[in-house]
Amino acid sequence: MNVILAETAGFCFGVERAINLVHEQIDKADGKRKIFTYGPIIHNAEVVRELEEAGVFSVEGPEDFERIKGSVLIIRSHGVSRDIYEQAKAHEIEVIDATCPFVKKIHKIVDEESLNGKHIVIIGDRNHPEVAGIIGWAHGDVDVLLNEEEAERFTLQENKPICVVAQTTFNLMKFQYIVEIIEKKGYDINVINTICNATQARQKEAESVSRAVDAMIVIGDPKSSNTQKLYDICKKYCKDTYYIQTVRDLELANLQSGISVGITAGASTPNNIIQEVFLNVRGKKL
């Protein structure tokens, strides 16, 4: 069996940085100070479980700040809105900011462009924590567009220029389609492609590998937005594409004799999980 493991599979820079910051705080606290994360540090249940075993738990929102007063709060790589920092400070919480630098860049763009009178349009999933955080840096109303249908329905009553940004993990091709639809409406528009380089490289490689194999395995947490997008891309080019979280979900019986198999993984999938799947597929007796 020929098995191709994507070179871009696994932790991206922002996720690895966030995980490292959590472990630094665990070592620094030495069990004497409570550590929390704002939401799960990454969208991976295995990693979250391991951190909970080390005494690091998550809070869901500012309504929990009174309960964790005086503790350490780590902002996850997805980032948060401006007011979360302010409320944490008011509750004497020490904030360790693990926001991905690519997301931070979007916060700065939205902050400055909206102050300059531009209407902000975010291409992404309004229910994703990264997008919720980005919205919280705008001075004024924001529109979030997920697909071409929503872009077709988009109208702006005020005669204001528009600044378009994207969720860092959004599908590049879909982003381009949506931007084209908005541009045809004749607005004064400034488009800033804020999809991170790692995401673009991962998606391009997923397409390339899935075109070249008989079956494709995509590894990641069910709640991971970027992994879901990888699955959608792979499924488009390889009918036999499987979405798994760990090796426990791997059904080797689905992989027939003599086929080629590709493997990729989302940005929040640990390398040990990827390697375990890779070794099990490669070692399948056919």
Q: In the CATH scheme, what is the code of domain 102-191?
A: 3.40.1010.20
Per annotation, catalytic residue among 52, 92, 130, 251? 130
pLDDT of residue 17: 95
Domain 13-100 in CATH 3.40.50.11270:
yes
- The residues near 9 (Cβ < 8 Å, ≥ 6 apart) are 202, 219, 263, 264, 265, 269, 274
Count of other CB atoms within 10 angstroms of residue 61: 11
Of the candidates 176, 213, 172, 163, the one whose C-alpha atom is nearest the C-alpha of residue 195 is 172
The whole-number pLDDT of residue 167 equals 97
Written as six digits, the tokens of 225 are: 């937005």
Tell whether the torsion through CA atoms of 12, 15, 19 and 22 is positive or negative.
positive
Q: Which pLDDT value is given to residue 284?
A: 66
Confidence band of 285 (pLDDT split at 50, 70, 90)? very low
Quick one: what percent of the chain has pLDDT higher than 90? 87
Which residue in 70, 151, 82 sits closest to 114, CA to CA? 82
Class of the domain covering 2-11+199-282: alpha beta
- The Cα 48–Cα 29 span in angstroms is 18
pLDDT tens digit sequence for 67-81: 999 999 999 999 999
Domain locations in the chain as residue ranges: 2-11+199-282, 13-100, 102-191
pTM beyond 0.75, yes or no: yes
CB 275 within 8 A of CB 250: no
Could you give the angle at the alpha carbon of 181 between the alpha carbons of 179 and 185, nearest 5°?
110
Structure tokens at 273: 């999980």
> Quick check: do 2-11+199-282 and 102-191 share a fold?
yes
- DSSP character for 76? P
**Mean pLDDT within 140-166:** 95
Tens digits of per-residue pLDDT, 38-47? 999 988 888 9
Q: What's the pLDDT tens digit per position in 220-231?
A: 999 898 999 999
251 is annotated as an active-site residue? no
- 208 versus 254: the higher-pLDDT residue is 208
